[in-house]
Amino acid sequence: MKYFIVTYGCQMNVHESEKIAAILEKLGYSCAEKREDVDIIVFNTCAIREGAEDRVFGNVGNLKKLKKKNKDLIIVLCGCMTQKEETAKKMLRTFPFVDIVIGTFNLPKLADYIKQVKDGRQLEIWQEGDIDEVLPYKRTSGDNAWVNIMQGCNNFCTYCIVPYVRGREKSRSEENILNEIKQIISEKKYNKITLLGQNVNSYGKDLNPPVSFAQLLKDICKLEGDFKISFMTSHPKDLTDEVIDVIANEDKIEKYIHLPAQSGNNRILNLMNRKYTREKYLSIIDKIREKIPNCRITSDFIVGFPSETEEEFEDTYSLVKQVQFDSIFAFMYSPREGTVASKMNDQVPEIEKHRRVNKLLNLEKDIQKETGKK
Ligand code: SAH
Ligand code: SF4
Ligand code: F3S
């Protein structure tokens, strides 16, 4: 019995696919090289932009042929798209050959769903649950081991679907995280450990007693062994001086921060509900550069947010030019149903978004050429 997993989206999803792999292997499946001759195929989906969803719809559609050839093939759709009730229902309607559609919170029950499908049932389930602390992973990212430290997001940036599909922030207990890392170190297969969360800087606020992200980092660095720690993603409003100091002082922490700015214009930042200004962002960058010389800094930007004018886009352009990031991701704003921004007036035309994103990416190329950064 063989399985194949197709993963879309962020590192969180990549890591969750490692959990799915472990579930399937426990059921007796083994990993296949290609999707053509397998017994179960899982699509772990992403909902962050429309393009991501379109790709999933196209690729799931193509599975119809495989299912025709092999009637026993089990097809599972999970991840962030299927956590949205409307989308999950649409997928069930559009793809009658799909066997299981489950949301992000239902993974611990995946094995049960698979067993039930063999009795001919199609399932559709979505509900928010507790953070999963128990399921093992089959690590698949070479010498890097992902460690989830929290899930969900409370920030509700007005463009973003994540808080709706991943629920509120929930931190794992520090003890469980440290135990997982000790286990990783003892296996001696991994040089790098990457801590994952939508907003790692608010780690531990919901624990009793609370533990700060800086404290967690310090405690991890006390563990014996030869390893490097990195983490993502940091929200500028929550990146404390203490965390910057820990990165500066601890040899085991990589000198690298991914710090999404999203925009360089204060009116747009306010409309995005990012809770910092251009000036505040730049002051954090100054602090990082002062305390951690040679720190690699990368960022994310969205162009064409509703009502963004050319001048306001130029503020983003000038911020990128000023900071000289090591690299950036630039995205065209994509309206997500149910979010505040999708209902805003003055949506920017697609052609204009294309122009802005290209201009920003060309600037990035120029900066990389000039500075030799990559
Ligand atoms: N939790 C992370 C980001 C997760 S999503 C953070 O807060 O930084 C990764 C990136 O996708 C975001 O930084 C943003 O730049 C982009 N993104 C999110 N929603 C988007 C949307 N509706 N349209 C375009 N880009 C979006
Ligand atoms: Fe989305 Fe904002 Fe949360 Fe990041 S911080 S996941 S962009 S709502
Ligand atoms: Fe996509 Fe979900 Fe990650 S929407 S970016 S896979 S948290």
Mean per-residue pLDDT, 278-291: 98
**Domain final position from 206, 239, 254:** 254
Least confident residue range of 214-218, 264-268, 369-373? 369-373
pLDDT classification of 303: cutoffs 50, 70, 90: very high
Q: Is residue 365 part of a domain?
A: yes
Taking the CA of residue 153 as reference, the ligand 2 atom at the shortest distance is 3
For ligand 2, say whether the CB of 48 is within 6 Å of any of its atoms. Answer: no
Residue range 126-152: average pLDDT?
82
Whether residues 301 and 312 fall in one domain: yes
pLDDT on residue 371:
85
Q: Tens of pLDDT along 314-339? A: 999 999 999 999 999 999 999 999 99
Closest ligand 2 atom to the C-alpha of 166? Answer: 6
What's the CA gap between 307 and 71, in Å, rounded?
Answer: 50
Same domain, 50 and 81: yes
* CB 147, CB 181: distance < 8 Å: yes
Average pLDDT over residues 149-172: 95
Do residues 347 and 309 share a domain? yes
Domain-embedded: residue 356? yes
Give nearest CA residue, ligand 1 atom 1.
198
Is the omega angle on the peptide bond into residue 233 within 30 degrees of 0, that is, cis? yes
For residue 139, tell me if it sits in a domain.
Answer: no
Same domain, 64 and 30: yes
Q: Which two tokens stand for residue 318?
A: 């000038």
Give the pLDDT score at 290.
97
* Domain count for the chain: 3
**Whether residue 266 is found in the same domain as residue 349:** yes
233, 305: one domain:
no
Gap from CA of 153 to ligand 2 centroid (Å): 6
Residue 120: pLDDT band with limits 50, 70, 90:
low
Do 191 and 112 sit in the same domain of this protein?
no
* Cα radius of gyration (the chain): 22
- 357 in the same domain as 269: yes
Residues in contact with ligand 3 by the CB-under-6-Å rule are 9-10, 12-13, 46-48, 80, 161-162, 165-166
- Sheet of 296-303: strands edge to edge? 256-258, 296-303, 327-332
125 or 22, higher pLDDT: 22
Say whether pTM exceeds 0.85.
Answer: yes
pLDDT band per the 50, 70, 90 thresholds, residue 105:
confident
Q: In CATH, what number is assigned to the domain containing residue 190? A: 3.30.750.210
Choosing from 106, 124, 142, the residue where a domain stops is 124
Residue 113 lies in a domain: yes
- pLDDT the model gives residue 36: 83
Please tell me the predicted confidence (pLDDT) of residue 349: 97
C-alpha to C-alpha distance for 239 and 340, rounded to whole angstroms = 25
pLDDT of residue 121: 60
pLDDT mean over 225-234: 94
Q: What is the pLDDT of residue 108?
A: 84
CB 336 less than 6 A from any atom of ligand 1: yes
**Considering the domain boundaries, does residue 203 fall inside one?**
yes
**Helix extents (H) in the chain:** 11-26, 50-61, 63-69, 85-94, 110-117, 162-166, 174-187, 213-221, 241-249, 266-271, 278-291, 310-323, 350-371
CATH code for position 264: 3.30.750.200
Q: Answer yes or no: is 202 within a domain.
A: yes
The least confident of 53-57, 85-89, 334-338 is 85-89
Structural tokens at position 215: 């404290």
Q: Hey, which of 46, 48, 327, 329 would you mutate to test ligand 1's pocket, going by the most ligand atoms within 8 Å of its Cβ?
A: 48
Residue 146 lies in a domain: no
Mean pLDDT of the chain: 93
Cα–Cα distance for residue pair 170/149, rounded to 1 Å: 9
Co-location of 214 and 280 in the same domain: no
pLDDT on residue 77: 94
* Last residue in a domain, options 208, 236, 254: 254
In tens, the pLDDT along 26-37 reads 999 999 988 888
Which amino acid residue places its CA nearest to atom 5 of ligand 2? 155
**Which ligand neighbours the alpha carbon of 303 most closely?**
1
Q: What's the rounded Cα separation, in Å, for the pair 160 and 342?
A: 10
Say if residue 221 is in the same domain as residue 279. no
168 lines ligand 2 (CB under 6 A): no
Other C-beta atoms closer than 10 Å to the C-beta of 190 total 20
Give the mean pLDDT of 256-276.
98
25 and 84 co-located in one domain: yes
CA of 265 to the centre of ligand 1 (A): 17
Domain coverage including residue 180: 155-254
Residue 249 falls inside a structural domain: yes
- The reply to whether 250 and 261 lie within a common domain is no
Name beta bridge partners: 144: 192
* 43 compared with 142, residue with greater pLDDT: 43
> What mean pLDDT comes out for the span 291-313?
97
Residue 242 has pLDDT above 70, yes or no: yes
What are the CA-CA distances from residue 262 to residues 50, 160, 237, 331 (Å)?
18, 12, 12, 9
Residue 58 alpha carbon to ligand 3 centre in Å:
18
